Structure 1
Amino acid sequence: MNKLQRRMGTFALTMVGMGSIIGSGWLFGAWRAAQIAGPAAIFSWIIGMIVILFIALSYSELGSMFPEAGGMVKYTQYSHGSFIGFLAGWANWIAIVSVIPVEAIASVQYMSSLPWKWAQWTHGLVLNGSLTGKGLGIASLLLIIYFFINFWTVSFFSKANSFITIFKIIIPGLTIGALLFAGFHSGNFTYHHSVAPNGWASVFTAVATSGIIFAFNGFQSPINMAGEVKNPSRSIPIAVIGSVLIATVIYVLLQVAFIGSVDPSLLVHGWHQLNFNSPFADLAIALNLNWLVIILYSDAFISPSGTAITYTATTSRMIYGMQKNEYLPKVFGKLHPIYGIPRPAMFLNLAVSLLFLFIFRGWGTLAEVISVATLISYITGPVTVMTLRRTGKLLYRPLRLKGLSIIAPCGFVFASLTLYWARWPLTGEVLFIIMGGLPIYFYYQAKVKWKGFRKNFRAGLWMVIYLLCMMLVSYLGSEKFGGKNIIPYGWDMLIISGLSLVFYVWGLKSGFETEYLQEACKVNEEMRVREEEITSEPYKETAV
């Protein structure tokens, strides 16, 4: 039987995380966050990091327990059965596969404002924030290049990604240093005598819609690549948590540099009127930093492309995982006999990426969709990890997080609040897209004659009602978050927090020892035996 090849070490896996996180988010995120929240955007990044870190901690324990390809689309099935397992997997796949075209769009959008005469032809690539026909052609070519870089082997992918990621960390560092020393206006942080000129509600909205959640989304990649890691119990938590913390430092410093480098004359009409096509490059041009301009336009290809290359690899493992859950045709579970790559899954993701590219066309629009879909997929992680502590007590846990009984519900509440902050009607639109995947689930249930459907449906019913309640509160909520203002500001977030805890408890009580968990225990046991062979010591649970 074909198996994915375990060749990746801790450094390579951390580079996968950093390569996924540092993409187009840093090129556009600081501008979008400042436009929405003003100088208080700095707090938006910190809040985003807290939300992601609480979620990432839950998934780190899951990833170390089940080091499987495409693990993020499997875990909830182990704790609650196929119905909610499909919903979580579908939402996660939608969120991740969308990243591939958004990175291609980012590269083309930056290229559309090249200042040199020989590059005048690029100015017709984007019109009113959307790619033109010529822009779509170049973006499509980039998607095909990402595809072929991953087509042969994980080893080649690891080497290419590690090199690109190192470059991607250096460039933001140079940008931060150059902007801080070339033209820093400290008065920008209290311009119009306010750190938060658009109100503190805008700080929360920026977390969900400016690309902050999207920018941190790459923490999932090391987990989805877990099936190809040499020592998952050590590498996964280091790669996941380490990449989030390193990225936070970079993002906050970039935000500080961006806010301080804006010419105060551009802020006369407020931060919300601050418009750039290529944010950091435009600042560098204004400060006559020509060397930085060249580097930034080069990096506009390298950073997004590095992320897209990573996601091209990880999304194919997600499709592979969904097929193993029997949600997709068997062809998508086939691995190449020599390279161990799920090539049919790669072809499917390429087709979907091209579809999303032609439908959405703009970075901002697609980044918002990704952020909300990602939050929906995050919801199940904290519930799953705590449920498995009850239903899978005998499972081998290389990593056992202390305080998870507090971390998990906090992560659930934080993710729910951030989903609400995304504003109506965006929340409703994306929830509708997620629900749109259910016909596929029902089709495959019909093929197996609805085997165990009632039990699986009951175990996942809490998630459906949760999503409907979130949609309703978002519609009725404060006008600060796009609602009808029937529920006033302040009370809306209190209600979301209370409802979240109710659904969290309901989710825990709905879990059961599924047939999928029994199968996963075999993988878990194989890992225990393998790690004992590596260390030559009996299993001892590691608490962190």
Structure 2
Amino acid sequence: MMKKELGVIDLMMASVTGMIGSGWLFSAFYASSMAGPYSIFSWLVGTGIVAILALIYADLSSRVPMAGAAAGYPFLSNGTVAGSLNAWSLFLGYASTPPLEVIAAISYLSFLIPNLLNSDGLLTPAGILLAVGLLIFFFALNATGIRNTSRFNNIVSYMKIAIPIITSFFFIFTIFSIRNFTLVGTVKPEGIFTAVPGAGIAFSFLGFRQAVELSGEAKNPQKTVPLAIILSVAVASAIYMIVQIAFIGSLQWGNIKPGDWSALANSGYSSGPMLVLASTLGLGALASVLLFDGIISPLGTSSIYQTTTARVSYRISEMGFLPKRISALNSRQVPIYALIFDLIVMILFVLPFPSWQSLVSVNSDLTIIAYMSGPVSLAIFDKYGVASKGFRLPALKILAPIGFALSVLIVYWSQYPTTLYMSIIALVGLALFVFSGKNPLKDLSQGIYIVIILAILPVISYLGSYGIDLIPFPLDIVLTMAVALGVFYIGTRSTPESVSQVEKLSFS
């Protein structure tokens, strides 16, 4: 059994570290390029959706705290088909995050060591080798135990909170133009929604899950985990909103036509938006701080994600979807074989996705696909009397289906054909179900809702305003929400035997 050593501050800082990583360094820039001044609304949409999901998982963690919790909930509520699809998507979403953060850190390090990136902003062979080396370093840190990892993350987290706030106020009080907020140009309102997955807004917030995954190692988890989740989302949302406002108001157009927001994506800002902006404004000292933070902040996030990815792999192994050896603990009560397995997968992610933006949308979609199951699991646990021992979601019968529908919308906003690719990748997770050797007919009926939504989403996406526009905006949004609510109802009709055994299980 894993040691229960983590308090509220440890858990909150783990979530803050997961949320304030490369997102603040890049997401405001990419959101601006997709939605211009409307990007402020993109953050409001993203905050609202993630806040609902965070509250849902806060309730879940107060009912069933365990290591790798998000991987275990659908397995308990909807059986092994739902469990395998969720586990696969969740694992890929987690395992792709440390490489993504390492790539972000190397992008900033390239200002000091130029040969790490090529002219297209992609990792060179030297950059790839450095990325692999950093992943191995954090593997070694995690192997020493959760307490050492937590101490490192707590130190980094205080810096993660301070530097974005200080930077934003420097920008605002140096050069800030209200005129930039009136330059709409060719930006369309639909960009508000595509920026949520595409600019990394969803990715930036999904770090709240760190406290959920570490709940099996928390002291008094029914109370500490929900509080840590709520506090971390509040802190991160305030920071990101300030950063976005500061970036838009302080943006210097240079050779770009004012209002041509889409041109930003291929401008000189793309290599390190905050650092380039600080240099342009003549803030040399701040630029040096940003260079340091641009390297350290993503590395802190990479470290905590290696920690929680191992817990997800541990839980997947415990459920029978991976070899039992993966869940073995070493003398320090660390799932060492899970760490080794995860490290190999993380290194493989560096190779086909050698840039931050090429990986961020894939990461967000896979994780959101996995998190769709949370609202369904909560509704089933509540239906069958799995009691909350701490935080309880208010208006559960309303917010749970809304949370599911909003999760579906985030994937929908990724646009066709991304929705098709993500559905195919997620459905490959059925291979884990085959590996587990469970009863296919019974479990398929209980987990069919995930298969249905993954099959329907690409079709609506192709026909909707982000595809051939046969179903125009906003009717496509209304249709997607309606379908999602119907699928939620199908999912909550599950009556697996495992639900009645939830409170009797030992969640190590």
Structure-1-length-normalised TM-score: 0.90
Aligned partner of 2:491 in structure 1 is 507
Q: Secondary structure at the match of 1:489?
A: coil
- Tell me, in whole angstroms, the C-alpha distance in 1 between the residues paired with 2:116 and 2:80: 47
What are the superposed Cα offsets for residues 28-77 of structure 1, whole Å, 9 maximum, x if unpaired? 00000000000110110110011111111111111111111101100011
Aligned partner of 1:416: which letter?
V
Pick aligned residue for 2:454 from 467, 479, 495: 467
Shift of 1:487: 1.6
Aligned partner of 1:20 in structure 2 is 18
Conserved? CA contact 1:80–1:514, under 8 Å: no
Shift of 1:519: 4.3
Conserved? CA contact 1:25–1:211, under 8 Å: yes
Aligned partner of 1:340: which letter?
Q
Aligned partner of 2:463 in structure 1 is 476
Aligned partner of 1:78 in structure 2 is 76
Q: Secondary structure at the match of 2:190?
A: helix
- Tell me, in whole angstroms, the C-alpha distance in 2 between the residues paired with 1:394 and 1:94: 29
What are the superposed Cα offsets for residues 392-442 of structure 1, whole Å, 9 maximum, x if unpaired? x15453332221111111111111122111111111111111112222321
Aligned partner of 2:445 in structure 1 is 458
Tell me how many residue pairs correspond in the alignment. Answer: 503
Shift of 1:217: 1.0
- Tell me, in whole angstroms, the C-alpha distance in 1 between the residues paired with 2:305 and 2:245: 28
Conserved? CA contact 1:214–1:371, under 8 Å: yes
Question: Structure 1 residue 213 and structure 2 residue 202: aligned?
Answer: yes
Aligned partner of 2:342 in structure 1 is 349
Conserved? CA contact 1:126–1:135, under 8 Å: no
- Tell me, in whole angstroms, the C-alpha distance in 1 between the residues paired with 2:468 and 2:103: 34
Shift of 1:14: 0.3
Question: Structure 1 residue 498 and structure 2 residue 482: aligned?
Answer: yes
Q: Spell out the pairing of 1:102-117 with structure 2 (5 A cutoff).
A: 102-112=100-110, 114=111
Question: Structure 1 residue 204 and structure 2 residue 193: aligned?
Answer: yes
Aligned partner of 2:229 in structure 1 is 240
Aligned partner of 2:263: which letter?
Q
- Tell me, in whole angstroms, the C-alpha distance in 2 between the residues paired with 1:123 and 1:31: 24
Q: Spell out the pairing of 1:425-436 with structure 2 (5 A cutoff).
A: 425-436=417-428
Q: Secondary structure at the match of 2:143?
A: coil
What are the superposed Cα offsets for residues 60-109 of structure 1, whole Å, 9 maximum, x if unpaired? 11111111110110001111111101111211111111101000000111
- Tell me, in whole angstroms, the C-alpha distance in 2 between the residues paired with 1:394 and 1:232: 16
Aligned partner of 1:417 in structure 2 is 409
Pick aligned residue for 1:223 from 197, 205, 212: 212
Aligned partner of 2:305 in structure 1 is 311
Aligned partner of 1:376 in structure 2 is 369
- Tell me, in whole angstroms, the C-alpha distance in 2 between the residues paired with 1:267 and 1:255: 20
Conserved? CA contact 1:477–1:485, under 8 Å: yes
- Tell me, in whole angstroms, the C-alpha distance in 1 between the residues paired with 2:336 and 2:426: 25
What are the superposed Cα offsets for residues 489-517 of structure 1, whole Å, 9 maximum, x if unpaired? 221111101101111111111x11423x3
Aligned partner of 2:160 in structure 1 is 168
Aligned partner of 2:296 in structure 1 is 302
Conserved? CA contact 1:17–1:220, under 8 Å: yes
Conserved? CA contact 2:313–2:338, under 8 Å: yes
What are the superposed Cα offsets for residues 167-205 of structure 1, whole Å, 9 maximum, x if unpaired? 1111111111111111111111102xx3x7411101111
Conserved? CA contact 1:180–1:257, under 8 Å: yes
Conserved? CA contact 1:130–1:362, under 8 Å: yes
- Tell me, in whole angstroms, the C-alpha distance in 1 between the residues paired with 2:4 and 2:412: 40
Conserved? CA contact 2:88–2:432, under 8 Å: no
Bigger Rg, which one:
1
Q: Secondary structure at the match of 1:131?
A: coil
Q: Secondary structure at the match of 1:7?
A: coil
Structure-2-length-normalised TM-score: 0.96
Runs of 5+ in structure 2 lacking a partner?
A: none
Conserved? CA contact 1:38–1:197, under 8 Å: no
Conserved? CA contact 1:188–1:264, under 8 Å: no
Runs of 5+ in structure 1 lacking a partner?
A: 528-544
Question: Structure 1 residue 97 and structure 2 residue 95: aligned?
Answer: yes
Give the RMSD, CA atoms, in angstroms.
Answer: 1.5
Q: Secondary structure at the match of 1:30?
A: helix
Q: Secondary structure at the match of 1:126?
A: coil
Sequence identity (%): 33
Q: Secondary structure at the match of 2:4?
A: coil
Shift of 1:206: 0.5
Going from structure 1 to structure 2, the CA distance change for 1:396 and 1:27 (only over 3 Å counts) comes to closer
- Tell me, in whole angstroms, the C-alpha distance in 1 between the residues paired with 2:297 and 2:420: 31
Aligned partner of 2:502 in structure 1 is 520
- Tell me, in whole angstroms, the C-alpha distance in 2 between the residues paired with 1:417 and 1:318: 25
Conserved? CA contact 1:71–1:224, under 8 Å: yes
What are the superposed Cα offsets for residues 291-321 of structure 1, whole Å, 9 maximum, x if unpaired? 1111111111211011111000000010000
Aligned partner of 1:381: which letter?
G
- Tell me, in whole angstroms, the C-alpha distance in 1 between the residues paired with 2:196 and 2:487: 23
Q: Secondary structure at the match of 1:127?
A: coil
Shift of 1:268: 3.0
